[in-house]
Amino acid sequence: MATRRRTWRGRIAAAALLLPTLLAGCGGSQNTLAPHSHAASDISNLFWVMTGIAFGGLALVTGLLVWAWVTRRRRGFRATDPADPHPGEKPAWFVVIGGGVVFPLMVILALFIVGDWAVLNVTQAPAASSTAMTVDAVGHQWYWAFRYPGTKAVTADELHIPVDTRVNLVATTADVIHSFWVPELNRKIDTIPGRQNRILLYADKVGVYRGQCAEFCGLQHAHMGMLVFVQPKTQFRAWLRKQSAPAPAPTTALARRGEDAFLSGPCSSCHAIRGTSARGFVGPDLTHLASRTTLAGVLIPNSRSYLARWIVDSQHLKPGNQMPDFHLTGSKLDALVAYLEGLR
């Protein structure tokens, strides 16, 4: 007993030391300039063009200021000449009208047509008929729940979609305003209480893409990440079939003790596990917890030691999150982790 507790403590301590390095390794990047869809690459291209023009504009104005600085000595400094109070006024007017009205109007008009017609048509909410499937994304303080309408599949923080498929993503919230954002796939969309906002989700390459809640939503806004796993279509179908099934029954005696602890203890009042009596809805659905790679809004990897540490010490890992710390005995914790690790 005592040795086992020490083992856990050792593992938890090791996990704490490794935390900074491991946090880096949770996969995916979220760079707006590394696009992996038509929408995101249109936006990225638009950005580069606008940046080019912007640097031109900045160079023009800076050039005028530098010109004034360079020529300052040659002309010396004397009091204004009452006979000629407006030297060079007429050519200056041409510059003001040309640079201040005509040129910006042309640029703005071009930008308006390209940005708010051409690119907007690609990035805006898709016609439902143009998409192959729908996913519901529900923002919670502080994690994302993803549901697949037509199936029973529910997952948290880790969204799976098939590659080269137009997905209709419906973004809603269970509490405050969040914002669904996976920059490499598309722009962001807020989740507004009482509304259903939609966005197109599409990825042209198999891989993992990181996203994050973009609208400030309270204490743990910083740790409300998500990962989008883009899979080959057959692999995705297999994944979805598995996620739709109820939780597998525990196979070992230890895991069975863990299931008892889960269902009789406080866990089931906040978490749901399909196929059991646990139907809580405050925290994420844990039916297939072990099939996920990360925990707690992509904060920590889903490993034995981190799972244990999360149960006993979540308020230290993610201060203010909705789950209290549970001070469990070593054997109970062991059983609980064994059970949860079996939820594949």
Partner 1 sequence: MWQSRPGVLGWVMTTDHKRIGLLYFWTTLVLFAAGGAEALIMRTQLIQPNQHLVGPATYDELFTMHGVTMIFFFIIPMTTGAFGNYLLPLMIGARDMAFPRLNALSYWVFLGSGIFVYTSLFIGQAPNAGWFDYLPLANAKYDPGHAIDFYCLGIIFNGISSSLTAGNFIVTILKLRAPGMSFNRMPLFCFAFLAASFGLLIALPSLTADSIFLFLDRNVGTHFFDVAKGGSVLLWQHLFWIFGHPEVYILIVPAFGIATEIIPAFTQRRVVAFPLVAVAELLVVFIGFGVWAHHMFATGMPTVTVVFFAAATGVVVIPSTIQVFAWCMTFVTGQAQFKTPLLFIAGFIFMFVAGGLTGIMFLAVPFDQQVTDTYFVIAHFHYIIFGAAVFPIFGGLYFWFPKVTGKLYFELPGQISFWIIFIGTNLLFFPMHIVGLEGMPRRQYTYPGGLGWGPDNLAETIGSYITTVGIVVLLVNLVVSWFRGAPAGPDPWHGATLEWTIPSPPPEYNFAVIPKVSSAYANWDYEDRAEDRRKLAEGIMVLEQGHEQPVSSPVDGWWAEIVEMPHDSPWPIVLALALAIVFILLLLHLWLGFCFGLAGVVLALLGWHGEEPEEAVA
The alpha-helical segments, DSSP class H, found in the chain are: 2-24, 38-70, 72-75, 89-97, 103-113, 120-123, 233-244, 253-264, 267-270, 304-317, 330-341
The smaller minimum CB distance to partner 1, of residues 232 and 320, is found at: 320
* Phi, psi values for residue 315, rounded to 5°: -70, -20
Tokens of 45: 């291209």
Least Å from the CB of residue 179 to partner 1: 6
Smallest distance, Å, CB 308 to partner 1? 21
Structural contact between residues 150 and 140, judged by C-beta atoms closer than 8 angstroms: no
Whether residue 328 contacts residue 311, with contact meaning beta carbons closer than 8 Å, is answered with: yes
Q: Cβ 83 to partner 1, closest distance in Å?
A: 12
**What's the closest the beta carbon of residue 199 comes to partner 1, in angstroms?**
9
CB closer to partner 1 out of 96 and 253: 96
| Closer residue to partner 1 (CB): 131 or 179 | 179
Nearer to partner 1, 114 or 245 (CB): 114
Q: How far is the CB of 86 from partner 1 (least distance, A)?
A: 6
Q: How far is the CB of 159 from partner 1 (least distance, A)?
A: 16
Residues 6+ apart with CB under 8 A from 181: 30, 187, 188, 189, 211, 212, 213, 214
Between 2 and 65, whose beta carbon lies closer to partner 1? 65
Helix (H, G, I), strand (E, B) or coil at 234: helix
Q: Which ranges of 114-232 does DSSP label H, i.e. alpha helix?
A: 120-123
DSSP structure class, residue 272: B
Peptide bond into 142 cis (omega under 30): yes
Nearest by Cα to 180 from 153, 140, 218: 140
Smallest gap from Cβ 68 to partner 1, in A, equals 4
3-state secondary structure of 247: coil
Centre a 10 Å sphere on the Cβ of residue 257 and count the other Cβ atoms it contains. Answer: 18
Nearer to partner 1, 12 or 23 (CB): 23
Smallest gap from residue 229 Cβ to partner 1 (A): 18
Contact predicate 182/201, CB 8 Å: yes
Nearer to partner 1, 142 or 262 (CB): 142
Choose between 55 and 232: whose C-beta lies nearer to partner 1.
Answer: 55
Count of CA atoms in the C-beta half-sphere (13 A) of 236: 17
